[in-house]
Structure 1
Amino acid sequence: MSEAKRGPILGFFRGVWSVLTFAQQLVFNVFFLLFLLFAFVMLLAIAASPGVQPMHDDTALVLDLDGALVEQFTSAPVDRVINRATGQAQPEIQLRDLLQAIHAAREDARIDRIVLLTDGFSTSGFAAMRDLAAALRDFRASGKQVVAYGTDMEQRQYYIAAQADEVYLDPQGGVLLEGFGRYRMYYREGLQEKLGVDVHLFKVGEYKSAAEPYVLDAASPESREADLYWMNDVWQRFVADIAQARKVEVPALNAMINELPARVQAASGDLGKLALDEKLVDGLRTGHEFEQMMVERGTLDEDTQSFRQIGLDGYLMQINRPHLVAEPQPTVAVVVAQGEITYGQQPPGTVGGESTAELLRAAREDENVKAVLLRVDSPGGGVFPSEQIRREVELVQAAGKPVVVSMANVAASGGYWISMNADRIYADESTITGSIGIFGLWMTVPRVLEKIGVSTDGVGTTPLAGAFDPTRPLDPNVGLLIQSVIDRGYAEFIGKVAAARDSTPAEIDVNARGRVWSGAQAKERGLVDELGGFQAALDAAAALAKLEEGSYRVTYIEKPLTPFEQFVVNLGQNSRTEGLLRVLAPAPLMLDRETLATAERELAWLDRKGRSPFRAVAHCLCAY
């Protein structure tokens, strides 16, 4: 009787299970068929692809600057392709790509002008931006025109636009030149008084302000003094560059900036009209009106009904077509050190002690490499990984290959550490460098635990046992130990700088103590050798290696792509497969991965996993 009763119930669940199994197999098979279709279409597309299309005369090179200007992409190639396909890309533009395209377009008879689109452009500093501006001026010197357009322009976007022969702005837009500022949040009261976290700062140098927000409620007088000193230097150069580009007087431009609120009010709030009246722009045009103007000046493309044009990616494909090299050429190798300096192997956009040293080692061991250009854009980080890279620089030099450092936006603290032994150090006048100093930060939380009725107690075999437990109060002897390590680290830092710069520790200490300088100020104090951008440093590297112009090639030393990665990147560059990849790429996660990745990068230099409980840090929080 009971078996009969259970029969229908079991049958029901078995039926449900069969349906689920069928559905699972169906879904799997559908995805498998889609994958096969995807692969088949890709092969057809690749086989049918006509390759790089021929360019016609009277073509405009359109540089859409919608993205962050970087020395090196900060995500893996495959991630960039997939993120672009899913609309999750964080746009980035490599400075090297822009410089290469502008340089080639200068001599390319098919390119008649450059059109700059400035919407979305951003950068973390001004040295790389000044490299870009110099390239645009060089392009204009060839007699070709540069035209810029934006719907709205903040000061970094306008700086680039100002380098054009003509600047146009949307009638609803405006140009906002506001000056430079550096403001940070300070956590002392919240951490120490409200939460009960005890923060212990160990440092050398009254100007070493990176960790001040954890122990103060406002910036120290030394921090204010140093920041305003270098910031004013960079700002006056910024204004002078714009004034020169737009052929206006510096005092008049400064007056307009300082009186901006009143002048905007006088213009009835019309920022576009004010920009036109102040000669910051040459005209107000909608996007359609600007496009029609370019059609009238150029050649109509019948397919697009717009002016004949080519974008950055398409033009790079034109000028980077594979070509046979009869024999190996002498090479200047470029190694990029961009981002925080942390331990071990790190992806692009972060400087790893081991990974960046490996790139330098690869250049050292390549017999075709005759010189190395180390392009540094880093606020520093861990002392030990910085020292790993500095040692590899010395080994490259010991192999008979000169090393030249080109400082980009920031080469401070640990960024200066990895630079100091170069045969020549080049910095842009607006580079941020220096910050020669060391600090250590230690937090203890016994008062936090006390709030919830938790305490720590126990025994140890020595006075030091368990002393680095953050749940216990800091032992004064441990504080003495840490400060001694920090003192030694600082002495080592200025000692190495003195040896590298043919000076003495006492002389270096005068301009060190954690103080930040602009590139121009650092040159005056002997911390850099020459003022100049990337090209000047590259020329110097070739000259030190006794390479004549035109007799060598320039190669970036980077981690090579795997065959699969190269395959996916090629797909992303193929217009026939990009749309299909967009359809079949994994859907974006709801979690904001970029925000998490940014937070992880910013905190990576504090990581102590698997190492001593504390460590010295050479880091400069000098973004602005």
Structure 2
Amino acid sequence: MNQPVRRGPIAAFFVGLWDVMNFTRRLIVNFLFFGLLLFVVMIFVIAAGSGAIKPLSERTTLVLAPEGRLVEQYSADPAMRALARMTGDKGAQEVQLRDLLRAIDAAREDKHIERVMLRVDKLQPTGYASLREVADALARLRQSGKQIVAFGENLGQHQYLLAAQADEVYLDPMGGLILEGLGRYRQYYRQGLQEKLGVDVHVFKVGEYKSAVEPFILDAASPEAKEADLYWMNDVWQRYLADIAKARKLEAAQLAAGIDTLPEGLAAAGGDLARFALQQKLVDGLKTQEEVENLLAERGVADADAETGFRSIGLDGYLALLDSKRLPLDKRPQVAVVVAEGEITDGEQPAGRVGGVSTAALLREARDDDDVKAVVLRVDSPGGGVYASEQIRREVAALKEAGKPVVVSMGDLAASGGYWISMNADRIYADPSTITGSIGIFGMIPNVTRTLDRIGVHTDGVGTTRFAGAFDITRPMDPAVGSVIQSIIDKGYADFTGKVAAARNKPVEAIDEVARGRVWSGAQAQERGLVDELGGLQAALADAAKRARLGEAGKYRVRYVEKAPSPFAQFMAGLAGSRIGALLVKDSDIAQALLARAMPEAGAQLRFVEEAAKSPDGSPVKALAYCFCGF
């Protein structure tokens, strides 16, 4: 039996003193912790009260000034988005296409919205399919009798497609606007890799138009790549000119001539881009922002307390107002929308990426939900891994087998693997300017044997079979290994074209004629039977509802099936998005640092090729269905 340790009076004194100090330290820390917790809760409660939605006054101007990338789905959690807005991180800002369309369509019927001021300077370039959906919504708004006034300081041709839909377009006298056309140029690395570094790149593919690998094996684009790219780009560009001409009541040929004679025309305008744009009738006048705001104050209701000088509401505020009017319990049958945006890779992926497991799980959730009667798969993807694409395609097929119609709505890009996940839908919709097709497979393996030779490093060893270590990039590639890989690629292409033929009810030979890695515009794809209808998301939703016999719009609910943010993310977003939270973050460097550490991260966005090269499943060969297309 252990005897208790006896301490002398001096030792007992110091031990007791230490216990008292330790108790006091814990007590103070606990007081600080609970005090901070109470402080945060109080701020959140006050912020929630101060953030109450106020009713919209009559004769309000809706200011649409989207900033950042136009996306189908946010790639960051709510808290990180709120922090990006407060700290002014423009590079991280995103605008959901669905939100922008929802605001424009609601304003058309809103009696409190008198007109719209459009500012698109800070909207980053995106694909023309998405822009055309927004442009169509603005055109409908204008046709309803609501005035649209657009202002810009410097406008690119992507942004101008939206600005051109306004009744009046004003440009800052010191601003600029140039229409230049579409171009697609890439760097080619063959000489640098093979001759300078000694890296040999072995390529395996099917289809002379599958040009994604060309930069690694050529010094310039192949004739086939140039032919295919120019074919679909000319189609998209002519449509762009037609859209601008229609909105501005001009001739497309006049716009094209203005581009061809740009040096002479700009010289005649004294090098003044704003004046040149006015002469070309691309804008209606040259005004500063203050002059435009004064104009809107005169036409609307002046408000000295408003930042704009007139009674107005911004996009975020208007969306919050619309959200406050939603019914908490909506029992109408649903058309579910599942977004597939970004590269298609294996496993679970965050928003803004397509995961074979995660996206399939969302489709399965829609299949198991009795309230969901039909599904729209919104695709904006260049493709990716073949197996991950097949996982998603199988879920589309399972939805159809369960009796739930599936309609695909293609966004800016639905090529290669993006087409793979689309082909089994009951109906495929695409905008005429969507980029699709690229039905093909490729594989690429670098070899650094010559690189190592140059520095006197050599690889040697033994293996139990002729293929043991055969995929090691530090050893010369055996021709037999190349034959194995090409057989896998050939089989992948046969699977791809065979599945497309079965899904589209066409002979394999007919699919091969329009496949072979070739890219098409949405209009060209429809002509070749790869797309059923031309139209945007609303047309796809209406089709899905009709197939499920849900009746007219308003008799069913559209619900996006997405991975819900965690309660902590929602709490932090609510705090950071409030006025008090924004004030704390804006004025305190310490608060910014703490919030940045505390908020959940969306995960590192690794590039597709880097992830594919890792091959986490241990497979030495992985077929890819990816399209390096776009501009």
Same fold (TM over 0.5): yes
The Cα of 1:73 is off from its aligned counterpart by: 1.1
Partner in structure 2 of residue 622 of structure 1 = 629
**Partner secondary structure for residue 357 of structure 2:** helix
Equivalence map 1:288-307=2 (5 Å): 288-304=290-306, 306-307=309-310
Q: Give the residue type in structure 1 aligned to 2:578.
A: N
Partner in structure 2 of residue 74 of structure 1 = 75
Partner in structure 2 of residue 518 of structure 1 = 521
Q: Give the residue type in structure 1 aligned to 2:155.
A: M
- Measured against aligned partners, the alpha-carbon deviations of 1:276-332 in whole angstroms (never above 9, x if no partner) come to 111100111111111111111110124226111111111011111165456621000
Contact 2:148 2:168 in 1 (8 A): yes
- Measured against aligned partners, the alpha-carbon deviations of 1:4-39 in whole angstroms (never above 9, x if no partner) come to xxxxxxxxxxxxxxxxx9xx99x9999969944751
User: How far apart in 2 are the matches of 1:327 and 1:59?
Assistant: 29
Partner in structure 2 of residue 571 of structure 1 = 575
User: How far apart in 1 are the matches of 2:521 and 2:625?
Assistant: 18
Partner in structure 2 of residue 542 of structure 1 = 545
Contact 2:345 2:608 in 1 (8 A): no
1:555 corresponds to 2:593 = no
Q: Give the residue type in structure 1 aligned to 2:192.
A: G
Equivalence map 1:343-358=2 (5 Å): 343-358=346-361
The count of corresponding residues between Structure 1 and Structure 2 is 598
Contact 1:424 1:529 in 2 (8 A): yes
Partner in structure 2 of residue 610 of structure 1 = 617
Question: In percent, how many aligned pairs have the same letter?
Answer: 58
**Partner secondary structure for residue 354 of structure 1:** helix
Contact 1:379 1:622 in 2 (8 A): yes
Query: Given the superposition, is the C-alpha separation of residues 172 and 320 from structure 1 closer, same or farther in structure 2, using an over 3 Å criterion?
Result: same
TM-score, with structure 1 as normaliser: 0.92
User: How far apart in 1 are the matches of 2:370 and 2:74?
Assistant: 27
User: How far apart in 1 are the matches of 2:414 and 2:610?
Assistant: 19
The Cα of 1:175 is off from its aligned counterpart by: 1.1
User: How far apart in 2 are the matches of 1:40 and 1:387?
Assistant: 47
Equivalence map 1:24-63=2 (5 Å): 35-36=36-37, 38-46=39-47, 48-49=49-50, 51-63=52-64
**Partner secondary structure for residue 227 of structure 2:** helix
Q: Give the residue type in structure 1 aligned to 2:628.
A: L
The Cα of 1:542 is off from its aligned counterpart by: 0.8
User: How far apart in 2 are the matches of 1:423 and 1:503?
Assistant: 15
- Measured against aligned partners, the alpha-carbon deviations of 1:171-212 in whole angstroms (never above 9, x if no partner) come to 001211000000001111111111111100000000000111
283, 286, 296: which one aligns with 2:288: 286
Query: Given the superposition, is the C-alpha separation of residues 565 and 447 from structure 1 closer, same or farther in structure 2, using an over 3 Å criterion?
Result: same
Contact 2:347 2:358 in 1 (8 A): yes
Contact 2:374 2:545 in 1 (8 A): yes
Contact 2:232 2:521 in 1 (8 A): yes
**Partner secondary structure for residue 174 of structure 1:** strand
Partner in structure 1 of residue 15 of structure 2 = none
**Partner secondary structure for residue 483 of structure 1:** helix
Query: Given the superposition, is the C-alpha separation of residues 326 and 183 from structure 1 closer, same or farther in structure 2, using an over 3 Å criterion?
Result: closer
User: How far apart in 2 are the matches of 1:158 and 1:368?
Assistant: 41
Partner in structure 2 of residue 151 of structure 1 = 153
Partner in structure 2 of residue 470 of structure 1 = 473
The Cα of 1:601 is off from its aligned counterpart by: 4.9
The Cα of 1:608 is off from its aligned counterpart by: 1.3
Partner in structure 1 of residue 497 of structure 2 = 494
1:272 corresponds to 2:274 = yes
Q: Give the residue type in structure 2 aligned to 1:56.
A: S
1:386 corresponds to 2:393 = no
User: How far apart in 2 are the matches of 1:201 and 1:30?
Assistant: 65
User: How far apart in 2 are the matches of 1:597 and 1:164?
Assistant: 39
User: How far apart in 1 are the matches of 2:393 and 2:529?
Assistant: 19
Equivalence map 1:218-367=2 (5 Å): 218-304=220-306, 306-321=309-324, 323-324=326-327, 328-367=331-370
RMSD: 2.3
User: How far apart in 1 are the matches of 2:618 and 2:344?
Assistant: 16
5+ long unaligned stretches in structure 2: 1-21
The Cα of 1:83 is off from its aligned counterpart by: 3.0
The Cα of 1:41 is off from its aligned counterpart by: 4.5
The Cα of 1:581 is off from its aligned counterpart by: 3.5
**Partner secondary structure for residue 300 of structure 1:** coil
Query: Given the superposition, is the C-alpha separation of residues 419 and 612 from structure 1 closer, same or farther in structure 2, using an over 3 Å criterion?
Result: same
User: How far apart in 2 are the matches of 1:143 and 1:532?
Assistant: 24
- Measured against aligned partners, the alpha-carbon deviations of 1:56-102 in whole angstroms (never above 9, x if no partner) come to 01111111122111111122222222333333351211100011111
Partner in structure 2 of residue 83 of structure 1 = 84
User: How far apart in 1 are the matches of 2:447 and 2:39?
Assistant: 55
Partner in structure 2 of residue 404 of structure 1 = 407
Query: Given the superposition, is the C-alpha separation of residues 529 and 254 from structure 1 closer, same or farther in structure 2, using an over 3 Å criterion?
Result: same
- Measured against aligned partners, the alpha-carbon deviations of 1:239-278 in whole angstroms (never above 9, x if no partner) come to 0100010001111111001111211111110111111111
User: How far apart in 2 are the matches of 1:47 and 1:244?
Assistant: 46
The Cα of 1:40 is off from its aligned counterpart by: 4.6
Contact 2:376 2:541 in 1 (8 A): yes
- Measured against aligned partners, the alpha-carbon deviations of 1:154-176 in whole angstroms (never above 9, x if no partner) come to 10011110011110100001211
Partner in structure 1 of residue 198 of structure 2 = 196
User: How far apart in 1 are the matches of 2:235 and 2:595?
Assistant: 44
Q: Give the residue type in structure 1 aligned to 2:81.
A: R
**Partner secondary structure for residue 574 of structure 2:** helix
422, 445, 450: which one aligns with 2:448: 445
Query: Given the superposition, is the C-alpha separation of residues 411 and 43 from structure 1 closer, same or farther in structure 2, using an over 3 Å criterion?
Result: closer
**Partner secondary structure for residue 429 of structure 2:** strand
The Cα of 1:110 is off from its aligned counterpart by: 0.4
Contact 1:86 1:588 in 2 (8 A): no
User: How far apart in 2 are the matches of 1:31 and 1:532?
Assistant: 59
Query: Given the superposition, is the C-alpha separation of residues 248 and 213 from structure 1 closer, same or farther in structure 2, using an over 3 Å criterion?
Result: same
User: How far apart in 1 are the matches of 2:199 and 2:317?
Assistant: 55
97, 101, 104: which one aligns with 2:103: 101
Partner in structure 2 of residue 121 of structure 1 = 123
The Cα of 1:448 is off from its aligned counterpart by: 1.4
User: How far apart in 2 are the matches of 1:239 and 1:606?
Assistant: 41
User: How far apart in 1 are the matches of 2:609 and 2:466?
Assistant: 35
User: How far apart in 2 are the matches of 1:85 and 1:503?
Assistant: 53
439, 448, 453: which one aligns with 1:436: 439
Contact 1:38 1:580 in 2 (8 A): no
Contact 2:342 2:380 in 1 (8 A): yes
Partner in structure 1 of residue 18 of structure 2 = none
TM-score, with structure 2 as normaliser: 0.91
166, 169, 191: which one aligns with 1:167: 169
User: How far apart in 2 are the matches of 1:354 and 1:581?
Assistant: 37
Query: Given the superposition, is the C-alpha separation of residues 206 and 158 from structure 1 closer, same or farther in structure 2, using an over 3 Å criterion?
Result: same
Query: Given the superposition, is the C-alpha separation of residues 237 and 562 from structure 1 closer, same or farther in structure 2, using an over 3 Å criterion?
Result: same
- Measured against aligned partners, the alpha-carbon deviations of 1:524-570 in whole angstroms (never above 9, x if no partner) come to 00000001111111111111111111210100000012211111122
- Measured against aligned partners, the alpha-carbon deviations of 1:367-391 in whole angstroms (never above 9, x if no partner) come to 0101000000000010000000000
The Cα of 1:588 is off from its aligned counterpart by: 10
User: How far apart in 2 are the matches of 1:561 and 1:47?
Assistant: 19
5+ long unaligned stretches in structure 1: 1-20
**Partner secondary structure for residue 236 of structure 1:** helix
Query: Given the superposition, is the C-alpha separation of residues 53 and 94 from structure 1 closer, same or farther in structure 2, using an over 3 Å criterion?
Result: same
Contact 1:70 1:123 in 2 (8 A): no
Partner in structure 2 of residue 10 of structure 1 = none
Partner in structure 2 of residue 18 of structure 1 = none
User: How far apart in 2 are the matches of 1:468 and 1:60?
Assistant: 64
**Partner secondary structure for residue 441 of structure 1:** strand
